Amino acid sequence: MTNVKGYIRGFDARSGERKWIFHTIPGGDEYGNDTWLNDSWRYTGNAGVWGQISADPELGIVYLPTEMPTNDYYGGHRHGDNLFANSLVAVDIDTGERLWHFQFIHHDVWDWDIPCAPILADITVDGREIKAIAQPTKQSWLYVFDRVTGEPVWPIEEQPVDPSDVPGELLAPTQPFPTRPPAYDRQGVSIDDLVDFTPEIKRRAEEVLARYRIGPIFTPPSVSTPDGTLGTLMLPSTGGGINWPGGSFDPETGIAYLYSTTVVSALGLFNDPEQSDMNFIRGTPRGVNPALAALNVDGIPLIKPPWGRITAIDLNKGEILWQVAHGETPDYIRNHPLLDGVDIPRTGRVGRVGTVVTKTLIIAGEPEMATTETGERGAMLRAYDKSSGAEVGAVYMPAPVTGAPMTYMDDGQQYIVVAISSGGFAGELIAFRLPG
């Protein structure tokens, strides 16, 4: 039940001397300690930062995107909202003193911790210049704040959510819902989300769906039983939405670009003292046929595409400008016997992809292998018009990307460099020279 606490430390870069420590799980009489009921702060761990940290050196502020506490899917041992888990915490760069914070999820049991760097963005909203900070999240909301004060740029509303019926669990009665920008990927699971390439596939997808609980975002995990439902389906999955590559921002236009995935996961809980001293852990109990828990129809994903997309969001207006499916349709879909003769538009691909912005383009690589336009096995590095999302070009790579591209200038020439790797293909860097 116990785990290491994810405290954040600041060090003098020249001497290595520690200057401060910030307790992400506050102890004693520290601010936020009362959000850990029954002294659960004493033994609960995690709540650290596993993504990238952002800083504004002019303001002297460091922004900490924190993860969730132990256990990821059952909070019966840590009642309360659990500050400063699942939060963006602004601290003084010299002292580590908390300046402001915002908690994205109270008492997280969905593993929707903050996976990536917050984006510093100077924007203009209704004629008002704002030093903003925008945090992409696994749950597919982009939260936007004044990075000086922590005030939301657009209202964020606390709305009621469903309680849990897992024994010992006590969820927060409300969760924060941004009013702008809209979610950049799908949230919650309904029958309308099921894959529907053919009526037969849709029917079989409904049979899979019947084994699980479904509902809107923040529908809680549920107990998995051999003779009942196998848990709760969640969308976005525990991996997002967006993940660690994060997003990119164009300071000239005020537009953010985010790659996200649409893939469903199951949150079923069961008790097994032989595996854990926690009352519940994630999984399916003994006696459940693994085939019954599969979230697919003969390998076809349960949820309809696109499975990967790039979204452009205007931070001056809080509006989505365009979305485009990113990633070629997998070979196993194009060649699937159940889909013979079915016209399948580009589906996009599930993965962890970063984007880079140039003067005119948004550039991103594909996250998985496929048979490319040239007939070779590999992946494509694709370029889109950053104002419209129209694809303007693509080049072949022998393996998928890992993370985000980078760009640099040398002697008047611009280059794009990407890291690539896959099973059986050693990781390497590949560089492209832009025309001109």
Q: Are residues 321 and 372 in the same domain?
A: no
Q: Are 254 and 316 in contact (CB under 8 A)?
A: yes
Q: Are residues 31 and 135 in the same domain?
A: yes
Q: Are residues 46 and 139 in the same domain?
A: yes
Count of CB atoms situated within 10 Å of the CB of 226: 13
Q: Which two tokens stand for residue 103?
A: 């908690």
User: What's the predicted TM-score (pTM) here?
Assistant: 0.96
Phi-psi region of 389 (alpha: psi -120 to 50; beta: other; left: phi over 0): left
Residue ending a domain, choose from 281, 307, 326: 326
pLDDT surpasses 70 at 425: yes
Q: Is residue 334 part of a domain?
A: no
Q: Are residues 276 and 367 in the same domain?
A: no
Q: Are residues 73 and 207 in the same domain?
A: yes
pLDDT surpasses 90 at 255: yes
Average pLDDT rounded to a whole number, residues 330-356: 95
Using one digit for the tens of pLDDT, what is the confidence trace for 56-115? Answer: 999 999 999 999 999 999 999 999 999 999 999 999 999 999 999 999 999 999 999 999
5: three-class secondary structure by DSSP: strand
Residues 6 or more apart whose CB falls under 8 angstroms from that of 17 comprise: 11
In this predicted structure, what is the pLDDT of residue 87?
Answer: 98
Q: Give 1's pLDDT tier (boundaries 50, 70, 90).
A: low
One DSSP character per residue, 285-325 reads -TT--GGGG--EETTEESBPSPSEEEEEEETTTTEEEEEEE
Identify the domain containing residue 425 by its residue range.
Answer: 355-436
One DSSP character per residue, 49-90 reads --S--EEETTTTEEEEE--PBSSSS--TTS-S--TTTTEEEE
Q: Is residue 288 part of a domain?
A: yes
Count of CB atoms situated within 10 Å of the CB of 272: 12
Residue type, 381: L
Place of tokens 């001497």: 15
Q: Is residue 287 part of a domain?
A: yes
Average pLDDT rounded to a whole number, residues 175-192: 98
* CA distances in angstroms from 402 to 73, 109, 354, listed in the order given: 28, 28, 8
Average pLDDT rounded to a whole number, residues 271-288: 89
- Output the domain CATH number for residue 71: 2.140.10.10
Alpha-carbon gap, residue 10 to 96, rounded angstroms: 7
Place of tokens 């020439």: 413
pLDDT surpasses 70 at 193: yes
Q: Which two tokens stand for residue 195?
A: 């894959």
Q: Are residues 317 and 375 in the same domain?
A: no
In this predicted structure, what is the pLDDT of residue 247?
Answer: 95
Alpha-carbon gap, residue 95 to 78, rounded angstroms: 29
Q: Give 293's pLDDT tier (boundaries 50, 70, 90).
A: confident
Q: Please choose, from the candidates 141, 144, 102, 100, the residue with its C-alpha nearest in 3D space to the C-alpha of residue 120.
A: 144
pLDDT surpasses 80 at 2: no
381: three-class secondary structure by DSSP: strand
For residue 221, say if its preceding peptide bond is cis, omega within 30 degrees of 0.
no
Q: Are residues 248 and 372 in the same domain?
A: no
Q: Are residues 185 and 298 in the same domain?
A: yes
pLDDT surpasses 80 at 373: no
pLDDT surpasses 90 at 258: yes
Q: Is residue 398 part of a domain?
A: yes
Q: Are residues 273 and 401 in the same domain?
A: no
Q: Are 45 and 3 in contact (CB under 8 A)?
A: yes
Using one digit for the tens of pLDDT, what is the confidence trace for 124-150? Answer: 999 999 999 999 999 999 999 999 999
Q: Are 84 and 32 in contact (CB under 8 A)?
A: yes
Identify the residue with better confidence: 314 or 414. 314
Place of tokens 């760069």: 93
Q: Is residue 430 part of a domain?
A: yes
For 208, the enclosing helix (H) or strand (E) is helix 199-209
Alpha-carbon gap, residue 99 to 116, rounded angstroms: 21
* CA distances in angstroms from 292 to 219, 220, 295, 333, listed in the order given: 22, 21, 8, 21
Q: Is residue 335 part of a domain?
A: no
Average pLDDT, the chain: 95
Q: What strands lie across the sheet with 413-422, from one edge to the other?
A: 406-410, 413-422, 425-433
Q: Are residues 370 and 285 in the same domain?
A: no
Q: Is residue 186 part of a domain?
A: yes
Using one digit for the tens of pLDDT, what is the confidence trace for 82-98? Answer: 999 999 999 999 999 99
Instruction: Give the percent of the chain with pLDDT over 70.
Output: 100
**Count of domains forming the chain:** 2
pLDDT surpasses 90 at 162: yes
Q: Is residue 350 part of a domain?
A: no
What is the largest distance, in Å, between two alpha-carbon atoms of the chain? 68
Please provide residue 183's backbone torsions phi and psi, each rounded to the nearest 5 degrees: -55, 140
Q: Are residues 320 and 417 in the same domain?
A: no
Q: Are residues 62 and 171 in the same domain?
A: yes
Average pLDDT rounded to a whole number, residues 170-181: 98
